[in-house]
Structure 1
Amino acid sequence: MLEVVRDVWNPFMQNLNNSLVSIIMPIYNGEAYIHDAISSVKKQSYDNWELIIIDDHSNDASLQIAQKYAEQDERIKVFQTEMLCSGAAKARNLGVQYCTGRYIAFLDCDDYWSANKIQLQIALMKEHNANFCYGSYAIFSGDVNNLIGEFRPQSLISYSKLLRGCDIGCLTVMYDSYALGKHFFPMVDKEDYALWLKILKSEHARVVLCESIIAFYRVSSESLSSNKWRELVRQYNVYRRVEGIGVLKSLFYLSCYTCYGLKKHYINYRGK
């Protein structure tokens, strides 16, 4: 159910403000950025959190940097994937397996959060009796001060809307594992999008949007020049292989998704 319900007593809402938040951070050769990411977690105004860092056998100093932070702060825990280059999905799933918090959030090692992200989302989820929260984020390139735009979702997302276009940035997501259960990323391309579809398809999902900028997403030259045709194929495969949607309807959703993507990148991204 996606409608916002107010003033309804829910046992899951008890002690919400003291609940542990688990933050999953996969790393692979992120020594240039990991300090900013971890520091943004340590600066959170909400301090009851654990940071689960999963190293995918980096061949730079990422693991050593993470371990040094863990030695200084018992809330930070570092693990490593069993195999080299397991990928972000497996690394995140390992983090979900190890985490112990009621709330689960995600942050890549080259992005960072605003200092009040967790506090804002906890407050919103309590106010709206929600169990899944996502929000607005700023976009920057290279240096953290080089902001090039921002993305602000225009309306509350639902499963049907998500099929036509994705407003959910992984770095802004927080969900209640007590209400929804622990969810693992499907082992497919566009695994985060596939997971959001799975969660929002559930009748138990209650979604709230945080309109404030709560995270900062780094774009690289690789992401800016990514193969758009390959992305379309991956998107189509999610419709067909993950959601089991027929060919014609998958092509329809793909056309909607493409048009929405153009709108998102050329209209809704508001340059600074």
Structure 2
Amino acid sequence: MGGTKILAAAINSKDGIITRVKKETPPKKEKYIEAISGIVDDVIEKLHLNKSNVKAVCLGVPGSVNPLTGIIGLAPNLGLKNFNIGEKLSKVISYPVLIENDVNLGALGIKKFGVAKKAKNMIAVFIGTGIGGGIIINEKIYRGSNFVAGEIGHMVVEKDGPLCGCGNRGCIEAVASRTAIVRNIEYDIKKGKRSVLSDFVKNKERIKSKALSQAVKDKDAVAVKRLSEAAESIGIMLAGVSNLLNVDMIVLGGGVIEAMGGFMMPVIKKSFKKN
């Protein structure tokens, strides 16, 4: 579950992912439980599954999560704080419910099935609506003493910088996430700079990663500048993480990288090596 979409998948031990269903995240948090329960039902109906064959439901959320209690400590992009989502879901879903940080799950998947199979220690960093990290140490998820290890999005990279959803200023999430990139582009356009994205701002439409990617292909000066700045900041942040943990591999993912990795990765790598 992310700030803009909920993506559900059915997985079995033989074939891995066998189907996917996607829907938009409701704008109101009061609708989250209904939406999650609904997409679980959608997956079951799509596959014509016998409900007795469903062993468990696992939900990944973007924020600090205690997997033992199912409580979300803080998820700024969902507007949730000290929210027992595990308990609430258990009342409407008739299967065991497991709650985990979304990027922890992503990191575990990359380690077990992806490019990091041979890496004993690795970090996954997902850049989308927000920015999060998942840390694998000695082939296991490292959660930290209070289950908040890997909250890379809230590392400060700009003193007295933009306000972050967590309440602090200058976090990498407030500087280089899609939310931050779009905010900066909208600011430039409102200040009179010409851009192929101007109509989105004029019509108050949300600028998605696909539109940003096309703007870069069109060599739009505003988009290129703001994405380059974000990529440079990401490189600086990753250099700090690498200096601290010295892992075997860092893997980048998320909607921003998937859509614009071709443009951003060279800038990120250059900034990473420089720092």
The structure with the largest alpha-carbon Rg is: 2
TM above 0.5, one fold?
no
